[in-house]
Chain A
């Protein structure tokens, strides 16, 4: 997970926790709520620091176990992946019936080594995001700095208040609040309302009009501002601003900073009231302040006495007699600080374990295991491979100098493109000649190289190797290479080799190659091979290849296997028949559906019948609507909607509108809409009361599809529905008629 997203999510969690705390502690005093927000915002600032600095992680997501890349030679791993690429989803906008679970079950995908380019892309994106973030941070910090400069400018124009009456009032207020630190009192022509500022040397600044204020107003103003000083609100506001700067992209943080400021004001009000100011008089003074406040925007982190926006709530809080107004006690402070640490530290450490460390944890890294693991992932270059083999002690190294080959390199003779064209032909020709090499390891490398190059000029040579090479590894590699080249000209040779090949792995590889080539010429050859084959896995591969080829000629070869004892083979045969989409398969599939015991096979049959889209499947599918397995029922509803040339909705489909499963109901509603059968109108109208929104939507959609008065009447009735969503959709459906 990107760091920023990670931190943003954790920040949200922290803030939601704070909000929940405040919401639960309804009776808490403003000072306590303020403290909760302060802690939360402090936590936000600590979070990224901790996330980077903490030496350990708490893995919450089950770590992805890094699989070692398979050997490039392990070609059959690619085959089942093709099985997953079935076109199953109904071609619709509304109902999306999931493909049969059996076809979705992911086969092992070919594992590709991670590419550097991908890492580069992710890295640039991260850089870009970081640049955007820094710009935002700079903007918010700039606002803060402007605030400080404005404050400086305000101070410069200010002068010390020398009026003894004011000084006496200041001292009296300090005493009432138990404030020991000396506070400077200034007045400035630029200030339009009283403000407190400064952390170590606090200052209260007054507007020039303050001299005209009556004594009570002076008292409350000073009490309020000194309460801010006493509580250290300048610091907490600054904290809020800092959090906003770092998390400027995060709306919750701005909200939290706002709450923090509000609670600070209310906590000060509480302090003032506790110091003995009469609530009604204090509220009146606040009102006066707010009226004069108007024009000047509050400096970013000074503490103005009143701001209009938050005013009402404050006055109400001041006038409310039974509100808790206690200040924060030390005990609460200590508990809160501890709680923050208890929440923020594990939160910061939380995260998906990195694959490597997870791997390390998962397989207690004893040295032997690392070695075994690494030996298993021999994938790299021939050099590295050879060295790995040598160093693993499998093969003794041979340091003897060898006879030096004679060649005469002339690399700069041709321009690049021409060189590429000529070079390509030269390379293929050179490799073809080397298929006659004495050493089987060389021939293996050559066959693999020819497959990589996918040059059709190599077909005949590879077929020769497939038929004649004494090494079965080389033959298998040749079959793989022919599958990679994917050219139909190889089919007759491959079919003949499939018949004659004695090595079962090679036969399987040949079947795979024929499935890759997807030529109908291979069907009869695959069919006879299927009858002759003993190996279960190879039979499955042949069936897979027939499914890939998608030729109706394959149906007679496949249908006898529907009664095969091998469940996996049966499933694959059904899948292949669904891929082929030939109506001739309907009858045998329907017959099997009634007798099949394995749920997955039944589900696959229903899927295949839906793919074939032949109306003759309707009775069997209707029966499947009463299947004991939910997955089969769901699929059957979908399949019935897929059938072509069905005049009316089968009774079972209309009955399925009342199924206990919402997926079945939804799929049924969709299907009867597709069939446009007016007989379904009452059932669909009843679904407008369905508890599930998706079912209701689909029902409306289906009613919109069905012509006739009854459907129109149902839609008109839906216009008076209590649910505005239903009314809206009904109007839309009527508008589309």
Chain B
């Protein structure tokens, strides 16, 4: 009898592990791991890790986390296998997008943007008004991953930022959101902005928005 129960338990546990992406892990621990791994990571490795985080949309398929030898990429893959949903990590991520380390900001922004919770959105909106331009840039970047039309007014404000990199990120985010209400502002940016990179980003965003 006890043996039968044991066998049934084993049988029930095996499928629970079947798709690795279905497994919920500890969000806080995963976020802490990625921030620690990102800090001071060489730029190109950070880029690789960030792409991994960005491209997977938390649906798994991040691949075999044993394969890459580098800790940053490994942490990113670990995270890509997991969808961060716990709003408890919002304060940690808000601090991370204000971090002095570019890689930490880069890795945290998509995570905060993709966390579908009002507190995450509020944190990004606040960060978009931060006094530090790198924080504002990361916040705009993160909002591009939120793809939330309610964030358009905040990003339109970002298009008027004095620092070009914030305007680039804001234009890019508006292109990701693909809402035609941003077209007027983007056309103006394309026509009037003094920075070529900003104008190119505006053009890209206009090409991305249907209509």
Interface residues of A (CB under 8 A from B): 3-4, 45, 48-49, 52, 113-114, 116, 119-120, 123, 126-127, 130, 133-134, 137, 141, 144-145, 148, 199, 235, 238, 242, 245-246, 354-357, 359-360, 365, 367, 370-371, 374-375, 377, 380-384, 386-388, 391-392, 398-399, 401-407, 409-412, 414, 416, 419-424, 426-427, 429-431, 433-434, 437-439, 441-442, 444-446, 448-453
Q: Is the CB of A113 within 8 A of B63?
A: no
- Which residues on B sit within 8 Å (CB–CB) of A377? 51
Q: Is the CB of A374 within 8 A of B44?
A: yes
6 tightest Cβ-Cβ pairs between the two chains A and B? A449-B207, A430-B187, A356-B63, A423-B180, A391-B43, A439-B196
Q: A387-B47, A434-B191 are in contact. Are A427 and B196 (CB under 8 A)?
A: no
**B164 close to A (CB within 8 Å):** yes
0 or 1 for each of B49-77: is its CB under 8 Å from A? (1 = yes): 01100110101110110111110010001
CB distance from B19 to the nearest CB of A (A): 6
0 or 1 for each of B11-23: is its CB under 8 Å from A? (1 = yes): 1101101110110
Q: Is the CB of A402 within 8 A of B209?
A: no
A238 to B3, CA, bound (A): 9
A719 to B191, CA, bound (A): 83
Number of A-B contacts (CB under 8 A): 268
Q: Is the CB of A407 within 8 A of B203?
A: no
Q: Is the CB of B180 within 8 A of A356?
A: no
Count B interface residues, CB 8 Å: 90
- Which residues on B sit within 8 Å (CB–CB) of A399? 133, 163, 165
Centre residue among A45, A141, A438, A446 by max chain B CB count within 10 A: A446
Binds A, one of B28-36, B92-100, B123-131, B153-161: B153-161
Return the contact of A123 from the options B14, B59, B163 (Cβ within 8 A): B59
CB distance from A267 to the nearest CB of B (A): 21
- Which residues on B sit within 8 Å (CB–CB) of A446? 190, 200, 203
Q: Is the CB of B156 within 8 A of A386?
A: no
Centre residue among A409, A410, A416, A433 by max chain B CB count within 10 A: A409
- Which residues on B sit within 8 Å (CB–CB) of A444? 200
Q: Is the CB of A114 within 8 A of B19?
A: no
Q: Is the CB of A402 within 8 A of B162?
A: yes
| B168 nearest CB neighbor, chain A only | A383
- Which residues on A sit within 8 Å (CB–CB) of B12? 137
Q: Is the CB of B61 within 8 A of A448?
A: no
Return the contact of B152 from the options A3, A411, A427 (Cβ within 8 A): A411
A409 to B51, CA, bound (A): 31
Main secondary structure of the interface of A (DSSP, over half): helix
- Which residues on B sit within 8 Å (CB–CB) of A392? 43-44
A230 to B7, CA, bound (A): 23
**B78 close to A (CB within 8 Å):** no
Q: Is the CB of B203 within 8 A of A442?
A: yes
Interface residues of B (CB under 8 A from A): 1, 3-4, 7-8, 10-12, 14-15, 17-19, 21-22, 43-48, 50-51, 54-55, 57, 59-61, 63-64, 66-70, 73, 77, 102, 106, 133, 141, 144, 152-153, 156-157, 159-165, 167-169, 172, 175-176, 180-201, 203-204, 206-211
14 sampled A-B residue pairs with Cβ under 8 A: A52-B18, A137-B12, A355-B63, A370-B48, A380-B51, A382-B201, A384-B47, A402-B198, A416-B181, A427-B180, A430-B188, A445-B207, A449-B203, A449-B208
- Which residues on A sit within 8 Å (CB–CB) of B200? 382, 439, 441-442, 444-446
- Which residues on A sit within 8 Å (CB–CB) of B15? 130, 133-134
Q: Is the CB of B169 within 8 A of A383?
A: yes
Q: Is the CB of B190 within 8 A of A414?
A: no
- Which residues on B sit within 8 Å (CB–CB) of A116? 57, 59
Return the contact of B19 from the options A123, A242, A386, A424 (Cβ within 8 A): A123
A235 to B4, CA, bound (A): 10
Return the contact of A426 from the options B152, B187, B189, B203 (Cβ within 8 A): B187
A244 to B57, CA, bound (A): 38
Q: Is the CB of A449 within 8 A of B159?
A: no
- Which residues on A sit within 8 Å (CB–CB) of B46? 391
Q: Is the CB of A420 within 8 A of B210?
A: yes
CB distance from A368 to the nearest CB of B (A): 10
Q: Is the CB of B168 within 8 A of A427?
A: no
Q: Is the CB of B47 within 8 A of A406?
A: no
Return the contact of B3 from the options A199, A423, A427, A431 (Cβ within 8 A): A199
- Which residues on B sit within 8 Å (CB–CB) of A126? 18-19
A410 to B157, CA, bound (A): 11
A405 to B156, CA, bound (A): 12
Q: Is the CB of B186 within 8 A of A430?
A: yes
CB distance from B115 to the nearest CB of A (A): 16
A540 to B79, CA, bound (A): 47
| B134 nearest CB neighbor, chain A only | A399
Centre residue among A116, A120, A127 by max chain B CB count within 10 A: A116
Q: Is the CB of A449 within 8 A of B183?
A: no
Q: Is the CB of A442 within 8 A of B180?
A: no
Q: A119-B59, A405-B167, A405-B194 are in contact. Are A52 and B17 (CB under 8 A)?
A: yes
Q: A374-B47, A380-B54 are in contact. Are A426 and B184 (CB under 8 A)?
A: yes
